Amino acid sequence: KQPPSPTSFPGDAGLIFLWKMAASSPDRALAGGGTEPAAEAEPDSDPWAGLGPIVKRDPVVKLQSPVSGLEPLSWSEDHRLSASSTNSISLMEIVCDIHGYGQDLVIHRTSIPVPDSPCVLKVGPEELVSELKERFANSKDPSVSQPFMLDRVLNPSAGSLPPLRGFKYTSWSPLGCDANGRCLLASLTLDNRLTIHGNLNRLQWTPLVDLTEQYAEMLEEKDYQLLGAEPPRGELQDPPEFQRRHRMQCPVRMEWSSVCTTQQVQTNNECKDVGTVLLAVLLENGDLAVWQFQLPFHGKDSVVSCNTIQSGVSAPSVLAWWEYEHGGRKMSGLIVGSSVGPVKILPVNLKAVKGYFTLRQPVVLWQETDQIPVHNIKCISLYHPYQKCNCSLVVAARGSYLFWCLLLISKAGLNVHNSHVTGLHSTNISSMTASRYGGSIFTCSADGNVKKLTPIFTDVAVMFKQELIRLPDGVAGRRTHGIAVSPNGAYLALVTTEGLTNGQHPVSRSYQVQFVTLKTPDDAAAELLESTIQNLFKQTDLLDLVRWKVLRDKRIPPMLQEELDEKVHTSGSTYLWRFKLFLFRVLYQSLQKAPAEARWRPSHEDTKVFIGDEEGEEDSQEAGGGASTSEGGGGRALDAGSYRSRGSVSSTGNEVSDSYGSSRSSYGISRSSTQEALGSSSSSSLRNSRFTPSWESSSLGRGGSPTRVPTNSKTAQGLVGLRNLGNTCFMNSILQCLSNTQQLRDYCIQNSHRRDLHNNTRVHTALMEEFAKLIQTLWSSSGSEAVSPSEFKTQIQKYAPRFVGYNQQDAQEFLRFLLDGLHNEVNRVTVRPRASTEDLDHLPDDEKGKRMWNKYLEREDSRVVDLFVGQLKSSLTCSDCGYCSTVFDPFWDLSLPIAKKGYGEVSLMDCMRLFTKEDVLDGDEKPTCYRCKARRKCTKKFTIQKFPKILVLHLKRFSEARIRTSKLSTFVNFPLKDLDLREFASENSIHAVYNLYAVSNHSGTTMGGHYTAYCRNPASGEWYTFNDSRVTPMSSSQVRSSDAYVLFYELSTSSRM
């Protein structure tokens, strides 16, 4: 090692050595650390070779619902991208991961769901408004009733059209606005609810204030009359006045100002500087509501004031802040555009804001003579090289044209130069975005063409250099709905759908967000070296490009290395030292023997996440088998049953509907329901549940082999652990349970699945193939090394995108999706018959159940169905006439509520009795009786019509309280043998006695826990603990515990038909 440089930090001698070693020999690996020689990257493997800076980056982020709003994408200063859709806002944070091995973008995903209830604007007393709505709806004058019934603002929930659902627009605040110093998100729904959200912890967004409600309260105090605004049009009973009060509350757009400093008078009459930020809201009647918030923003208490400005613009459509700095003086204003043409800047008087001035009067940028609507405006601050001063460039998208206006302040006043750019697109501009630095403007049309415009100053005004962005394969040719550029111009995000196929539009479109680079890594490195920002976090997009190149080439670019070395030794800048340390860390990761499953794990000091359980107990305690150790800790245990009760995920493809006209989701899950859940918005409620997952540590890189049972090769079959790929203990637990399902195991080992794969014409068979390959590996391996399920994980996340990444997941939910995916690929039915509407109510229940089961098999018939699917009977009985209606539905598992008793221990039979207990439907739950033709009090009861060969019982340990979700640690006493369920059969049955063979356990709490599995080896009959890569023997007396979560029972041999 060489001695540290005089300017280096203490302890950096090793870093200097690494730096010099990487410079002299990029092929060498670090000594120790489990590395292998890394080959130098091939020159022709450079993805930019021959392409310029435009390269596609993975992954592609699929959206669960169609996008909504005119500008669905918005990128924040803290590198978070929001995508507005009809069911949620999908939020993607770009993270520059210095601990990861993968070259793909690292994206942390969260979401904000659409509010369940529609937004009802407050225009007067509730009783009077309800009376007026009924009067307008029933008016005999069609000029009153028809517009009212078709207006989803005046009548959001009871009109002729369904309520509007989705988000119209999102706007990010500048950095430093929330309690963590990051950005706030203002969201506007299609039904006019304007809310500010804050990301107070890492994985959860919280609504901080409803500005629509706040503004309504302010208007009510002023009796809906504002100074200088449109006067009342009569009384509230008059339809024009009723409509006026609604229009003055309907937001069109909202935009944030930059952070400014306000002087606040203290109790001692001294002035204190307080940070504030403004949010301007453009309303449908042309008014502007300017909210002022004190920072950091915490909610309603942080609202300082709200002032209303009359713009005088009819049919307002867009809004943008104009902020100009000249000679140390800052000026501000609001640019308002209209759908009928004119665009003007309005003065904004910022009282008590230091250093800010405003215009004396509004300035019209474009006249209204052309009548071309404006649907997007961007204002960019630039430096004019000829005038030697700052200037503002305002660009507006109007049809297929781009109008521009250059604003300069001179001694003579405000100078306005405007014109427009033609020949950009053959169709209308669908989206426009601008880089915060450099002034580049990007436009796109619906046909997928993206243009880049770079302003070039002349001594007179400005001209634009046009460039067609040649999108790479996989992005080109798709329909583009919106674009957004990252803060420093490194990435362009596009939300796209499939284009025409054989000249025809696809039946259903899948929306996805794709990323392409706009700069090369060398350009990004040069900008980082010369940056005046001096903050790596604010330049995450540029930093990620450099990280990508270092990981690919397994060396630091020589030119970057030399320049950074020189700058560090001459300036000693802390920013440059941090940049240097960042490159060291990435270089070190690139030289490791990097399994694809090694993932980043936050440290225990990270305050933004909850840390899972610590490393497991000592090996001697593990061998005892009493307590499960936490090797990969942190599985998230979500209660799928609780989702069903909230209606977020249907448990079967069709709800249990009956002749009473009521519906209730049955237990279990069918094939169609899982496919619906994959593409439905209900998944957003799963991702945005109130669980705060912990992070589990990987079982890799611990040194030494996993603790395993020292047995011979004959008895060691099936006793192989699974590596934890990072938060995948939930998957490993279920896979071990299925591996010990004897009939499913034999189906895979004997390659019987291939016969079913070859007998159908399905293209997608990779999931079944990888699952069978994994099972075969577990039962043929006799070594001591654990098996990596990475290839299987790749396939399951292709089938169910909710398992993409390394987030916490629920084991029971994973089991459902896995079984559904396996069934789809080996389904013996290649052409499903059309659903029939045959009336079976006249048949006896037994015959009706058989007919319904046969109909199900006509569509869904596979070895997986043979094993796991049973049939549930739901009976509704009218208390008045005694009429009974029955419905039969398939189920894949039963979610059992946990009975509660005083002494804290219950039996599995208690839970089964509670599940099948007769419920009374009364009050609001009364269904409509088919015979009585009226809503009647009824009783409802579940029984089991057909018992499956493999019965999966899910114990609902997680329940939602008023404040947070809690876990029930009640000890459920379940039998290991001879579980007799004949009392729950629809008719006397002898085929209902089961033996336990596997248990999926969840230890810990809702904040963090870990999954393990207890399985009985089908060959030896002995019980073993499967804790990720560790497999240890255990006594059958230790199988029962309060951690039992999913129970696997097989039908007793004596009970089988």
List the catalytic residues.
729, 1010
Strand pairing class (694-695; 610-611)? parallel
The tally of CA atoms less than 13 A away on the side-chain side of residue 664 is 24
Write 877-880 long-range contacts (CB < 8 A, 24+).
Answer: 877/938, 877/939, 877/940, 877/941, 878/660, 878/929, 878/931, 878/932, 878/936, 878/937, 878/938, 879/936, 879/937, 879/938, 879/939, 880/929, 880/932, 880/936, 880/937
Residues 6+ apart with CB under 8 A from 627: 617, 621
Q: With contact defined as beta carbons under 8 Å apart, do 804 and 772 qualify?
A: no
Residues 6+ apart with CB under 8 A from 777: 720, 787
Q: Which of 770, 763, 816, 760 is nearest to 793 (CA)?
A: 770
Strand pairing class (512-517; 56-62)? antiparallel
1 C-beta neighbours (distance < 10 Å), count: 9
CA distance 343 to 331: 18
Compute the C-alpha angle 684/689/691, nearest 5°.
140
Residues 6+ apart with CB under 8 A from 579: 528, 529, 536, 564
CA distance 508 to 679: 11
Report the greatest alpha carbon distance in the chain: 100
CA distance 944 to 874: 9
* Amino acid in the structure at residue 1041: S
The answer, yes or no, to whether the previous bond of 59 is cis (omega within 30 of 0) is yes
Q: With contact defined as beta carbons under 8 Å apart, do 1008 and 634 qualify?
A: yes
CA distance 261 to 272: 10
Residue 684, classed as helix, strand or coil, is helix
CA distance 677 to 291: 39
Burial of residue 347 (CB within 10 Å: 0-12, 13-18, 19+) is middle
Point out which residues pair with 309 in neighbouring strands.
288
**Which stretches of 284-400 are assigned E, i.e. beta strand?**
287-294, 303-310, 316-326, 329-338, 343-347, 356-358, 363-366, 376-384, 389-398
Q: With contact defined as beta carbons under 8 Å apart, do 485 and 491 qualify?
A: yes
Return the exposure string of 150-162: e unless at least 16 CB atoms fall within 10 Å of the residue's CB, then b. ebbbbbbeebeee
Compute the C-alpha angle 464/470/473, nearest 5°.
160
687 C-beta neighbours (distance < 10 Å), count: 17
* Amino acid in the structure at residue 75: W
